[in-house]
Amino acid sequence: MSATKPRPRPSPATGDEGAGIEPGKEGAAPQSFVRAPPAAAASIVRIEGVRKRFAGTTAVDGVSLDIGRGEFFALLGPSGCGKTTLLRLLAGFEQPDEGEIFIDGEPMAGVPPYRRPVNMMFQSYALFPHMSVAANIGYGLKQQGLPRAEIAARVARLLDLVELGGLGERRPSALSGGQRQRVALARALAREPKLLLLDEPLAALDRKLRERTQLELVALQRRLGLTFVVVTHDQEEALGMATRIAVMEKGRLRQVGTPEDIYERPRSRFVADFIGEVNLFEGTPAGAEGGLVWLDTADGRLAGTGPSGAIALSVRPEDIEIATHRPNATNVVVGRVEGARYRGDDMVVHVRLESGKAVRATRLPHAPPLPADADVFLSWSPQDAVALAE
Amino acid sequence: MSRVLLGIGYVFLYAPIALLVLYSFNASRLVAVWGGFSTKWYGELLRNEAILGATLVSLEVAALAATIAAVLGTLAGTALARWRFPGRTVFSVMATAPLVLPEVITGLSLLLLFVSTEQWLGWPQGRGVLTITIAHATLGLAFVAVVVQARLAAFDRSLEEAALDLGAPPWKVYATITLPLIAPGIATGWLLAFTLSLDDLVLASFTSGPGSSTLPMVIFSAVRLGVSPQINALATILIGLVALVVGLAFWLGRRR
């Protein structure tokens, strides 16, 4: 995860509510604050204390979660954290060992996948290789017993929706990766599900296409007013698309919140570390005063904001100032530069502190070089240091 | 050097067959003496009623046995590839046993089975086309099951899940997704079973009755009385047919 670039911190809402997202607008990730949170919508998905074990391991360990109507909800976590199992429980491919799942108020226990008001887009797309694109998209409609003419009309509309008009007679094998992804999306949308599940929808696309498709997915979700639940291991993807994110680890929910919550107010070391690059300073509580929490760490007494009794501080590389002379700041640590990595829009400097701890800080790419054989001083404001209770 | 070795290998494998094909066009009645080119043995073959009758029996048995084997083998292959059930290992070994068991033993055990069921149940009455067909279906089933099982093992399960997710109940998923995608495997299995049945002498000898001789049986008894060039002609036709069918099976197997 550490290879991903830091994402520009979401600035306060600019008030262009409803302006929508214009594709191609210099490739900026859509900021979630332009989307209204689901105002008091009744939840479409209710997961109550769900547990699922596979031979020897507990894939989903006591998860309770409500997902509101019209949300773009992301399940985020490293591989093996149980996010895909949770999605498969919603689709009905797995049955929970404990707990209950309600979709649109209906209990789903014992309801097979083919009777659920839910459709899924598979990570591999799972397009039927022996059918044309149109037959793939129309497969679900055919199961509903719709007349042939109506199926054809709706397939044509769906093909237009995903901008694949005229490709209906092709075989999936004759399409590019991006086109296949659209066919899979159109097929999953065909039955107008109450809930669309997407398993790593962008994982098979290359980087450029992935960014554009992110924007398109969000625009489509808003236009159709559907609820999307997307599984991803890519924090940038989740931050960029979702209205709410659930971060999972080892089958448990670690934190559920808006992208801003998760990014700016992580509650645990795991979440802080998983969402982008952070420097963690672990220590013992040393009191709280004036809205600040103090911690005794191996690098001295440091201040941050957050719950008292915190055991770690999380500081993002972009919030750290590097100076050659001791600045007058609340949090100052001393170390030696070990190396710098040019990344185009910024430079990552690796600093080894006196305690032996390695810290990353970013600088402007054309800042004057730092001395390799003299002490440098790192400082940051307590407001940028998030105190973590676990 | 390696080409020379390859050449020797090919000669070793195909020289007898080439010779047989060559001599089927021999004008001389003596098998080992070249008497000029002629197709007269093919003409005589067409007038030989015993051989024509046996050919019909063989084709009938082969088509019927291959079809039974394809249906049962597909079911067996599906069960073995998809389900974990008590006794699965035993079933797996039993279904594929005819692949490795000496045919003499399979033939003998089938003969015993038919004799005892006729005693206890009154069926099948006597031995003939029906019993040969059952015997060949048993052999072919093993091949179809293995081919289908391999094809299902390489099958992307998410295709079936996608169909379920789109509202198709399991039987429909099998009919519209699974079956079409493993069809080339089933066809390959059918063709294998067909050629095996056409070739087989041992099982047929054990399970045939009066008036139901298959082609290999007729050839075998004819050869014991002395090799007629007619048999060369017949063998040439059979080689052509089998090569065609095996080639078809190979081509089907390579298609996705």
Look up the ipTM and state it. Answer: 0.78
Could you give the C-alpha distances from B206 to B55, B193, B194, in angstroms and in order? 18, 18, 19
pLDDT digits (tens, 9 = 90+) for B59-118: 999 999 999 999 999 999 999 988 888 888 888 888 888 888 899 999 999 999 999 999
DSSP-based three-state secondary structure for B37 = strand
> Quick one: pLDDT at residue B148?
92
Residue A257 has pLDDT above 90, yes or no: yes
Q: Cα–Cα distance between B21 and B237 in angstroms, integer?
A: 9
Separation between Cα atoms, residue A77 and residue A144, nearest integer Å: 36
Band (pLDDT 50/70/90 cuts) for residue A5 is very low
Better pLDDT: A368 or A191: A191
Give the C-alpha separation, B181 to B33, whole Å.
53
Instruction: Report the percent of chain A where pLDDT is more than 90.
Output: 56
Mean pLDDT of A239-245: 93
Kindly report the three-state secondary structure assignment for every residue of chain A: CCCCCCCCCCCCCCCCCCCCCCCCCCCCCCCHHHCCCCCCCCEEEEEEEEEEEECCEEEEEEEEEEEECCCEEEEECCCCCCHHHHHHHHHCCCCCCEEEEEECCEECCCCCHHHCCEEEECCCCCCCCCCCHHHHHHHHHHHCCCCHHHHHHHHHHHHHHCCCCCCCCCCHHHCCHHHHHHHHHHHHHCCCCCEEEEECCCCCCCHHHHHHHHHHHHHHHHHHCCEEEEEECCHHHHHHHCCEEEEEECCEEEEEECHHHHHHCCCCHHHHHHCCCCEEEEEEEEEEECCEEEEEECCEEEEEECCCCCCEEEECHHHCEEECCCCCCCEEEEEEEEEEEECCCCEEEEEEECCCCEEEEEECCCCCCCCCCCCEEEEECHHHEEEECC
Chain B, residues 155-174, CB within 8 A of chain A, namely 156, 158-159, 161-169, 172
Residues 6+ apart with CB under 8 A from B39: B25
Q: Residue B9 burial by CB count (10 A; 0-12/13-18/19+): exposed, middle or buried?
A: exposed
CB contact under 8 A, B181 and A130: yes
pLDDT at residue number B255: 64
Question: CATH says B47-254 is which class?
Answer: mainly alpha
- Going by pLDDT thresholds of 50, 70 and 90, the confidence category of residue A22 is very low
Is residue A208 pLDDT above 90, yes or no?
A: no
Task: Give contacts of A115 with chain B, Cβ < 8 Å.
Answer: 167
> Beta-carbon neighbour count of residue A256 at 10 Å?
18
Considering chain A, tell me which residue range(s) the CATH 2.40.50.140 domain(s) occupy.
278-388
Closest by Cβ to A191, choosing from B167, B181, B256: B167
Q: What is the mean pLDDT of chain A?
A: 86
Q: Do B158 and A124 touch (CB under 8 A)?
A: yes
Give the residue from chain B lying closest to A129, CA to CA.
B181
Question: Smallest Cβ distance to B165: which of A120, A128, A130?
Answer: A120
CA distance B224 to A345: 90
Domain boundaries, chain B: 1-26+34-38, 47-254
User: Which of A124, A130, A141 to substitute to test the interface with B, most B CBs within 10 Å?
Assistant: A130
Residue B97: per-residue pLDDT = 85
Residues of B in contact with A120 (CB under 8 A): 161-162, 165
Q: What is the Cα–Cα distance from A324 to A322, expressed in whole angstroms?
A: 7
Least confident of A15-29, A120-134, A307-321, B161-175: A15-29
Q: What is the pLDDT of residues A329-387, one digit of tens each?
A: 889 999 989 888 888 888 899 999 988 899 999 988 887 888 777 789 999 999 889 99
CA distance B255 to chain A (A): 12
Class of domain A32-117+193-272: alpha beta
Q: What is the pLDDT of residues A294-345, one digit of tens each?
A: 998 898 889 998 888 888 999 999 999 998 889 888 899 999 898 888 888 8
Q: Is B156 in Cβ contact with A124 (below 8 Å)?
A: yes
Tens digit of pLDDT for each residue in A139-188? 999 999 999 999 999 999 999 988 898 899 999 999 999 999 999 999 99
pLDDT (tens digit, 0 to 9) for every residue of chain B, 256 residues total? 789 999 999 999 999 889 888 888 888 887 778 888 888 889 888 888 888 899 899 999 999 999 999 999 999 999 998 888 888 888 888 888 888 889 999 999 999 999 999 999 888 888 889 999 999 999 999 999 999 999 999 899 999 999 999 999 999 999 999 999 999 889 989 999 999 999 899 999 999 988 789 999 988 888 888 777 888 888 898 889 888 988 888 887 776 4
Domain with CATH 3.40.50.300 in chain A: 32-117+193-272
Residue pair A137/A186 in contact by the 8 Å Cβ criterion:
yes
* Mean of pLDDT values over A40-68: 89
CATH topology of domain A278-388: OB fold (Dihydrolipoamide Acetyltransferase, E2P) (2.40.50)
Q: Does A176 touch chain B (CB under 8 A)?
A: no
The rounded distance, in Å, linking the Cα atoms of B77 and B143 is: 10
